[in-house]
């Protein structure tokens, strides 16, 4: 990707475009309220640091920055399917995170808010399982909060279905000392146990002492990560999402995922989704937008 051609999107004093890890093109945003970095491979947000805070996002020390590789950490975009690959495809969680997106617009909305817009279109990179006519637009606003909007537009003549997620990895002080709230009283699938139907009900906040992979299908409200070690609450709000995943791989799964030693202790995923019963059917000429807002609050 030609960095020179991208320089027209630079915003003096707020947004620069540079060659980052692995020689990949990155955007760096720095305004009065926050800093952030976004890799054009997967339109992948790799860092978000509100003023006076540690990074809210987590990246693995072993991440491989290379085209065709999924970046472990940050905010991977799972699209147009979530989970195992369907027939005619090879990768789980879709293909949007493996390829370069087009940077289409940048704006300084104010001294403390900066916007970047990315797009994805049909291409030879699409697997046989996804030969659809679409426009995918990802809008990122960096300020006192991080706002994400993923809009799928059906430009074809037949309806199609998408399942998707912001598979966000949050940086935490210690997995054994945090709590995740917002799911009490809700039924969930325990995929570690291999459940195929909701068979457990969350009582109170979620705590962690082993591998956790809880899939909630009827939750439209916000979630919060309470982290006394970092003295903050990460609040995760969303729109147009009635499903979520809370995940930590723990020791053995982390090794299989090539994470560095003990890294699982410093991350947790709380994912805003449209999955399973919440998958979205999009009619010709229509669009659907998944939205999320991430912010740090004091305890």
Q: What is the largest CA-CA distance in the chain?
A: 54
pLDDT under 70 in the chain at which residues?
A: 195, 198
- Report in angstroms the alpha-carbon separations of 115 from 45, 107, 142, 181: 13, 5, 6, 29
Give me the sign of the Cα torsion angle 41, 92, 208, 244: positive
User: What is the separation of C-alpha 176 from the centre of its chain, rounded to a whole number of angstroms?
Assistant: 23
Number of H helices and E strands in the chain, helices first, is 2, 22
**Nearest partner of 115 among 15, 188, 261, 18, judged by Cα:** 15
Under DSSP, is residue 51 helix (H, G, I), strand (E, B) or coil? coil
Closest by Cα among 8, 178, 38, 249 to 105: 8
Sheet strand arrangement including 44-50: 15-19, 25-30, 34-39, 44-50
DSSP 100: B
CATH number assigned to the domain covering 3-292: 2.70.98.10
Rounded CA-CA distance 223/238 in Å is 9
CA separation for the pair 131, 173 (Å, rounded): 43
* Domain segments of the chain as ranges: 3-292
Q: How far is CA 276 from CA 4, 80, 95, 243, in A?
A: 42, 13, 18, 8
Taking a C-beta distance cutoff of 8 angstroms, is the pair 149, 138 a contact? yes
pLDDT at site 125: 83
CB distance 140 to 104 below 8 Å: no
- Kindly state the tokens that stand for 297: 């609050």
- In this prediction the pTM is 0.97
Residue 198 has what pLDDT? 67
């Amino acid at each position: 990707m030609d960095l020179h051609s991208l320089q027209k999107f630079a915003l003096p004093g707020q947004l620069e475009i540079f060659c980052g890890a692995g020689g990949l093109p990155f955007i760096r945003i720095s305004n009065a309220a926050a800093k952030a970095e976004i890799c054009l491979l997967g339109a992948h947000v790799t860092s978000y640091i509100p003023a006076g805070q540690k990074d809210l996002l987590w990246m693995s020390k072993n991440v491989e920055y290379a085209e065709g590789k999924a970046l472990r950490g940050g905010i991977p975009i799972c699209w147009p399917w979530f989970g195992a690959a369907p027939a005619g495809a090879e990768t789980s969680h879709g293909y949007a995170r493996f390829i370069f997106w087009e940077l289409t617009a940048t704006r300084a909305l104010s001294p403390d808010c900066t916007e970047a817009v990315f797009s994805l279109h049909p291409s030879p990179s699409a697997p046989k399982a996804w030969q659809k006519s679409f426009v995918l637009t990802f809008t990122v606003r960096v300020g006192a909060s991080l706002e994400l909007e993923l809009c799928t537009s059906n430009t074809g003549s037949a309806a199609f279905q998408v399942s998707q997620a912001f598979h966000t990895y949050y940086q935490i002080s210690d997995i054994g000392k945090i709590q995740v709230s917002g799911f009490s009283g809700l039924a969930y699938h325990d995929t570690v146990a291999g459940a195929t139907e909701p068979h457990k009900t969350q009582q109170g906040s979620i705590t962690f002492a082993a591998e956790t992979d809880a899939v909630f299908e009827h939750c439209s409200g916000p979630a919060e990560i309470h982290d006394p070690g970092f003295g903050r609450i990460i609040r995760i709000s969303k729109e147009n999402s009635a499903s979520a995943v809370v995940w930590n791989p723990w020791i053995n799964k982390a090794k299989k995922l090539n994470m560095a030693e003990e890294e699982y202790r410093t991350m947790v995923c709380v994912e805003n989704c449209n999955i399973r019963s919440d998958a979205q059917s999009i009619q010709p000429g229509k669009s659907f937008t998944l939205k999320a807002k991430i912010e740090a609050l004091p305890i």
